[in-house]
Structure 1
Amino acid sequence: MASPIVQYIVLRKDLVDKLKWPIGALIAQACHACTAVMHNFREETTTQQYLADIERMHKVVLEANNEESLMALAEKLKAENVDHKLWIEQPEDIPTCIATRPYQKDLIQSHFKKFKLMK
């Protein structure tokens, strides 16, 4: 049986904990990144399969401790050719979130092992 198709989203936890962003603002960052990555990779077969069954979409929402850990993940994903969107809030130029395009879970889950589920 094929691995499920999943989208990973990683948000900076310090934006809420230390910089006192409202939780709604953080959720908006995830929405921006997810919308952008789906648009950017809409022609990918896995993205089309994911969107064809919207009642059964799988997302894994994780937390990065700070900007440094988010940027390190972005560099790792880029180096490994994992399609993703690093959302940078403007005009403040603050990296806030990463969303991958949908992938077979077993192909990319190893990149996210060190991140905890968002709480």
Structure 2
Amino acid sequence: MAAPEEEALVQYVVLRGDLRRAPLSWPLGALVAQGCHAALAAAHAHRDHPDTRAYLEQGGAMRTVVLEAVDEAALRALAATLQQHGVDHALWTEQPEDAATCLALRPYPRHQVRQHLRALRLLR
């Protein structure tokens, strides 16, 4: 049986780290917007899932973890892995460039998705 911390609902957001570094050097606000778009898209797409409803009902106690994918290829590879393993998520693609910038999982207990995210580090 998982420990209480492992049962805590968390929404994981994965941003491309290369967007904040040269030569791309996106402003902080643009990066935050990408994370917000992906998180809201995932929550909306899975709004009827019991974990999503429970997470949203937590209000100010919601837990979000923001991780970093090194670049677009790594983000798309993660999305493919999540899809293959049936992990609910939303990949945010900026238009009209068709550039994947961020993805977010619907809220999950940590232990259910940890193995797919273990190689990623916290966004800094």
Shorter chain as denominator, the TM-score bin is over 0.9
2:75 match = 70
Equivalent position SS for 1:21: coil
2:40 match = 35
Equivalent position SS for 2:87: coil
1:90 match = 95
Sequence identity (%):
46
Question: 1:67 & 1:55 partners in 2: Cα distance?
Answer: 31
- Within a 5 Å distance, the mapping from 1:1-119 to structure 2 comes to 2=4, 3-18=7-22, 19-119=24-124
Equivalent position SS for 1:25: helix
Structure 1: 5+ residue stretches without partners: none
Partner deviation per Cα, 1:30-55 (whole Å, 9 max, x = no partner): 00011111111000000000011112
TM-score normalized by structure 2?
0.93
TM-score normalized by structure 1?
0.96
| CA shift for structure 1 position 91 | 1.0
